[in-house]
Amino acid sequence: MLTEFGRVFIFLIIGAIFVAGGLITAWLVRPHRWYPGKLTSYECGEEPVGDSWVRFNIRFYVVALIFLIFDVEIVFLFPWAVVYQKLGLYAFIEMMIFLAILLVGYAYVWGKGDLDWDKPTPHIPVIKKQKPVEQAYAEEVTV
Amino acid sequence: MRNPEMFISLIKIVVVLVIMLTAVAYIVLLERRLAAAIQNRIGPNRVGWQGFLQPLADVLKLVLKEDIVPKSANKFIHDLAPVISISVALTTFAVVPFGDHITLFGQNIKLQIASVNVGILYILALTSLGVYGVTLSGWASNNKYSLLGGLRSSAQMISYELAMGLSIIGVVMLAGSLELDKIVQAQAGWKWNIFLQPIGFITFVVAAFAETNRLPFDLPEAEPELVAGYHTEYSGLKFGLFYLSEYANMLTSCAIITTLFLGGWQLPFLDGLGLPDFWLSLFHVGAFCLKVGVVLLFFIVIRWTIPRFRYDQLMNLGWKVMLPLTIANLLATGFVILLFE
């Protein structure tokens, strides 16, 4: 007897066979001609500068943390949603309390500015006003 | 055959996989031709009639190209990442029902590969796994562009995953089940969730665009700044796998949108026509394909007609608009259900 997840597993295996078949064929038929220049990292044709595993913005880390909290919340919401029609008002009020606690945290994160990302500040070029030619000429003549 | 159930499953799986891979190849062609039409070009039309053999030629070219792995890259993870991407993209389709039952050679066959009882959680879990393919490829390439692309992509995908999960909850509340075929059956007649859950539908579609890295949200691979982002260092078939998985993801999300919001394989007037069972089942599958096709066309047209977001706009939309909107939709749905009880 095959369970439903067993079918999913077979699907995964057959999919993997398709992909592996493609990769092995490609490995057999493609050329293998490499030299050191070919194997450098791409940096617009220049020699790569420094290490690529650079420091990055802390915001990515903060977003991942906030995501974790909300994702766990969603996992709690799913079983609630399935039985909601049977439980009625009781379930509604209970979930309101749960959501209210979470929304306090959401408001805190928002107010603290962790959801704000750097906006570009466009530099609008300032053009000096030039005098019209006639006026400039007239000034020159009077001097 | 001693074990017909196993045998039927195997045939179904192989048929679905072959159809999916062919469909994905032709979606690529469709997208290129449509993009050309929108931009007033001709597009690929030389290989075969109207370019119909172009996908084959593309695959052949990708197979014959050399596979270059940069010296400083982590070779194992560099190889693993596209495989993760493609297997996740294909496996998600296992739970999507593409028809009701069909009777063939005296066997009653269910037109769904696996009717998992936690279908929606399965889909959400697999879309979360999809992040790994992109992030690992970005990290393992040891290239600055790839790393930035991978980081952006992971932040974007996890942000929109929340909106995606929350917008499905309204549908689950209405159907009272996580099984996808039960959700389809709950939408019989004109009770499609697009009418009952319009806000949920819109937020889900937007989140689907962000999850598949399609154009208004394709910052992970923005050409002008990141030169293809996470797959800068990929070539040959491994690049092809990423390309394939992008389109397979698109196909799967169109199928999921159809299943959750557009009534799946149901067409309201079809059951009243009194067709024989066999033909009715075929028409159900046809209706499903038609709906998926319409959503696919929508995806493609959007890609070629709308400009790209800036990164701060993208994150603002995800966290400050979509999230409150989906929570409000959830509460409103709960309230309305209470009123009608």
**CA distance to partner chain B, nearest, from residue A125 (Å):** 21
**Residue to test with chain B: of A65, A84, A89, A99, most B Cβ within 10 A:** A84
Q: Which fold has domain A9-117?
A: Methane Monooxygenase Hydroxylase; Chain G, domain 1 (1.20.58)
Q: Which of residues 121-140 of A touch B (CB under 8 A)?
A: none
Q: How far apart are CA B239 and CA B242, in angstroms?
A: 5
Tell me what pLDDT residue B296 has. 92
Q: Taking CB atoms and an 8 Å limit, are B13 and A95 in contact across chains?
A: no
Element (H, E) at A140: helix A133-142
Structural tokens at position B176: 């009272």
Residues of A in contact with B91 (CB under 8 A): 8, 11-12, 15
Tell me what pLDDT residue B205 has. 92
Q: Taking CB atoms and an 8 Å limit, are A8 and B6 in contact across chains?
A: no
Tell me what pLDDT residue B220 has. 67
Q: Taking CB atoms and an 8 Å limit, are B6 and A2 in contact across chains?
A: yes
Lowest model confidence (mean pLDDT) among A52-56, B195-199, B233-237, B316-320? A52-56
pLDDT surpassing 70 at residue B53: yes
Is A10 part of the contact surface with chain B (CB cutoff 8 Å)? yes
pLDDT surpassing 80 at residue A143: no
CB under 8 A, 24+ apart: contacts of A62-67 = A62/A114, A63/A114, A63/B155, A63/B158, A63/B159, A63/B315, A64/B154, A64/B155, A64/B158, A66/A109, A66/A114, A66/A115, A67/B158, A67/B159, A67/B161, A67/B162
Tell me what pLDDT residue A123 has. 80
Mean pLDDT of A66-81: 87
**Domains in chain A: boundaries:** 9-117
pLDDT surpassing 90 at residue B204: yes
pLDDT surpassing 70 at residue B160: yes
Q: What is the pTM of this model?
A: 0.87
Higher pLDDT among residues B317 and A57, named by residue: B317
Q: Taking CB atoms and an 8 Å limit, are B114 and A4 in contact across chains?
A: yes
Residues of A in contact with B310 (CB under 8 A): 120
Cα–Cα distance list, B117 to A75, A140, B114 (Å): 15, 89, 9
Mean pLDDT of A107-127: 82
**Residue to test with chain B: of A23, A43, A69, A93, most B Cβ within 10 A:** A23
Q: Taking CB atoms and an 8 Å limit, are A56 and B237 in contact across chains?
A: no
Q: How far apart are CA B86 and CA B129, in angstroms?
A: 11
Give tens-digit pLDDT for A20-49. 888 888 888 888 887 877 777 777 777 777
Cα–Cα distance list, A118 to A81, A115, A121 (Å): 37, 10, 9
Give tens-digit pLDDT for B141-150. 888 888 888 8
Tell me what pLDDT residue B267 has. 83
What is the pLDDT confidence band of residue B91, given thresholds at 50, 70 and 90? confident
Residues of B in contact with A22 (CB under 8 A): 63, 237, 241
pLDDT surpassing 70 at residue B154: yes
B63, B158, B341 member nearest A88 (Cβ): B341
Q: Which of A130, A95, A52, A99 is nearest to B146 (CA)?
A: A52
Give tens-digit pLDDT for A87-96. 878 888 888 8
Half-sphere exposure of B190 (CA within 13 A, CB side): 2
Answer yes or no: are the C-beta atoms of B171 and B261 closer than 8 Å. Answer: yes
Average pLDDT, chain B: 85
B9, B172, B316 member nearest A2 (Cβ): B9
Is A58 part of the contact surface with chain B (CB cutoff 8 Å)? no
Structural tokens at position B298: 């929508």
Answer yes or no: are the C-beta atoms of B51 and B33 closer than 8 Å. Answer: yes
Residues of A in contact with B62 (CB under 8 A): 26
Lowest model confidence (mean pLDDT) among B20-24, B47-51, B103-107, B161-165? B103-107
Residues of A in contact with B15 (CB under 8 A): none
Higher pLDDT among residues B127 and A52, named by residue: B127
Q: Taking CB atoms and an 8 Å limit, are B232 and A96 in contact across chains?
A: no
A15, A22, A25 member nearest B91 (Cβ): A15
Give tens-digit pLDDT for A122-139. 788 887 777 777 777 777
Half-sphere exposure of A143 (CA within 13 A, CB side): 5
Give tens-digit pLDDT for B208-266. 998 888 878 877 666 666 777 777 788 888 888 888 888 999 999 999 999 999 888 88
CA A41, distance to chain mean position in Å, is 23
Tell me what pLDDT residue A1 has. 66
Q: Taking CB atoms and an 8 Å limit, are A74 and B64 in contact across chains?
A: no
> CA B99, B101, B102: angle at the middle one, nearest 5?
100
Tell me what pLDDT residue B224 has. 66
Q: Taking CB atoms and an 8 Å limit, are B159 and A43 in contact across chains?
A: no
Give the length of chain A: 143
Is A108 part of the contact surface with chain B (CB cutoff 8 Å)? no
